[in-house]
A and B are shown apart, each in its own frame.
Chain A
Amino acid sequence: MRAEGRFSEAGELVCPAGTPAALRTAVDAGADSVYCGFRNATNARNFPGLNFSPEELEASVAYAHQRGAKVLLALNTYPPAGKVDLWRDAAAIAARVGVDACIVADMGVAQHIATNHPSLRLHLSVQAAASSPEAIRYYCQNFGVKRVVLPRILTIPEIRAIKQEIPCEIETFIFGNHGLMVEGRCSLTNWMTGESTNMDGVCSPAAKVTYEEDADGALRSCLGGVTIDSFAPGETAGYPTICKGRYTAPHRPEGYYAFEEPVSLNLSRLLPDLMEAGVHAFKIEGRQRSKSYVRKVVGSFREAVDAIRAGATPDLADLVALTEGQKETQGAFKTKKWR
């Protein structure tokens, strides 16, 4: 099997690409796999000017395969009733151009691919929110899922325990935007904007985001006209997402980060522990980021993984400048206290 042969070595680096140029950059920087999506609602980064046409995907698959890298297609949104064909068509293109796996969340989409494209490998998206061995086994047994992308809510001991009870590979996020809500179960954007993360593939769509500079030089970020946050002059900023905003509660009149502060996940120091816990693949978030981000982050983690594989201590480049709010966290992975 072509696909299985390509997915053998643990420590696989799964890297983001929002454009063909970013995909080539990721491959050249040492990505083992690159994940990307079509220019429509079938994936969770349906952003303006981003993503791939079928022709671009075909050329990109060829580029990656010539250099020994794989291409994973994100089909990880939930088709609303009446629009399922868009997802089915995307799967058919994926099969035709030879992508190495599809990353899915919706049971209907998973079942369609398992039935109609049985040779297409399936990965379970983080959007499916499968956070227990039972949930993961459900997708493995019914749709032949070969890999699960775990939600960013588990500690390393918990990941190790899950690994012992499931028949598939584990992929975890190691760097990038740190989603706070259980992915695939969040309608916050739809509440504010009328566009749905699950159905339309958008989180805080740029068309509904405005930045306003107040008289005192503070930067106010708004979504759908609602103030998400206000940054004093010189204070580092974050994405205009509801879960990274500052709000007041009756006993917190001064305003506070009710969910999480602008911060990025960086697990570079935990890579050996994750590998030892049975994590097969490391995912870097950021299909909406630039080639420059891809080059720096992928290059840095490539060196780190290679060092670990060679039994050496990785030299961890400082990636903090690329992080949201210019702050890093190990999130839930390090301690249960994060919850």
Chain B
Amino acid sequence: MELTLGPLAYHWTVERKRDFYARIADEAPVDTVYLGEVICSKRAPFFEREMPQVIERLQRGGKRVVLCSLAEVMLKRERQATADLMESEDHEIEINNAAGLLARDGRSHRVGPFLNAYNEATITWMADQGATHVCLPTEMPGEAVGIAAKAARDLDLGVEVQVFGRAPLAVSARCYHARAHGRTKDNCQFICEDDPDGMPLATRDDQPILRVNGIQTQSESYIELLAELPEMKALGITHARLLPQNVDMVAVAQVFNDVLNSGLDADDGRSRLSTICAGTAFSNGFWHGVAGYRHINRKAVAA
């Protein structure tokens, strides 16, 4: 099973992104890096100029680079960005909206988590249409993932599941970052740049529960599937996705790599991860088919 770095969901500054990917290129034990703006089309132009160098840098570091399309396609610029990306022959692409599927017209592509490939029928259909790899929706329970993975493997598709990072829980046409500051999406002034790990929302009795990232809503806690890695491998999952958070992602990738390939105990891995991600709780409820925010202890389950 290979580790991948999923697309960055947040609006980091250009310098910061450049430095981030440079370090990933040099140090992170991941095989594939997904690049591109998935959440907000307004952010995309900032980094466009840097993309060729970043891609080249990552490739020099031995990484396979996959370019991602937007999850929401509604406006003219979003349709155009999607159409342009689908013409790419130089790089693999991951499609996150059916608009991309139309433009890709059967040429090879990866299926992103926003395309809702929940079952074997849909995966079979997508494979017929040129899909080579599918990232399953984050909310799928392990039981269904196993069946979906088998179908995908039978069709020779790569199968990917998110194992780290905030759970992507919803997208909207409305920008909640702008709304929180009394602005509209068209006049947002990129306020989301102030929250490199999302804007925290707590209940009125002070329980932190969600993060706002522009039009996206994410979980407060990070998904963490360290103890589940052996089971995932056995189910035929080929790729484990780490989503970039505002922590030392090289260190995060090393923990996952150590558990996966160097025999590090999952519990020890989790304690290392807790230090790296100080102040953030971990969840694995989705995988175990219970409320996503929960954390199920594998040993307790087995007992």
Contact = CB atoms under 8 A, between A and B. Distances in A.
Judge A-B direct contact (beta carbons within 8 Å): yes
B207 A180 contact: no
A138 B203 contact: no
Contacts of A181: 170-172, 217
A198 B138 CA distance: 12
Interface in A121-166: 128-135, 137-139, 141-142, 151, 153-154, 158
A194 B79 contact: no
B203 A226 contact: yes
B102 A339 contact: no
Contacts of B22: none
B99 A107 contact: no
Interface stretch (A14-22, A23-31, A67-75, A241-249): A241-249
> Which of the listed residues B137, B167, B184, B185 has the most CB atoms from chain A within 10 Å of its own CB?
B137
B102 A78 contact: no
Contacts of B141: 80
A81 B138 contact: no
Interface size class of A (residues with CB under 8 A): 35 or more
A132 B291 contact: no
Contacts of B205: 227
Contacts of B72: 129, 131, 182
Interface residues of B, number: 77
A258 B114 contact: no
A205 to B, nearest CB: 11
A84 B120 contact: yes
B167 A247 contact: no
Contacts of A255: 204
Given A247-B204, A339-B184, A131 B169 contact: no
B73 interface: yes
Contacts of A182: 72, 170-173
Given A131-B74, A190-B286, A227 B203 contact: yes
B121 interface: yes
Nearest to A246: B204
Nearest to A336: B186
Interface in B191-243: 199-207, 209-210, 212, 217, 219
A186 interface: yes
Nearest to A139: B98
A79 B171 CA distance: 21
A102 B72 CA distance: 25
Interface string B95-119: 0011111110000000000101011
Interface of B: 71-74, 78-79, 82-83, 97-103, 114, 116, 118-126, 129, 137-141, 143-148, 151, 167-176, 179-181, 184-186, 199-207, 209-210, 212, 217, 219, 285-286, 289-294
22 contacts: A79-B121, A80-B144, A81-B140, A105-B116, A107-B121, A108-B122, A130-B98, A132-B73, A134-B73, A135-B97, A153-B173, A182-B173, A185-B116, A190-B286, A196-B139, A198-B139, A226-B207, A230-B204, A246-B204, A247-B210, A248-B203, A332-B174
Interface of A: 78-84, 105-109, 111-112, 128-135, 137-139, 141-142, 151, 153-154, 158, 180-182, 184-188, 190-194, 196, 198-199, 224, 226-230, 242-243, 245-252, 255-256, 258-260, 332, 336-339
- In order of increasing CB-CB distance, the 8 nearest A-B pairs are A108-B121, A153-B173, A108-B122, A134-B99, A81-B147, A81-B148, A191-B292, A80-B144
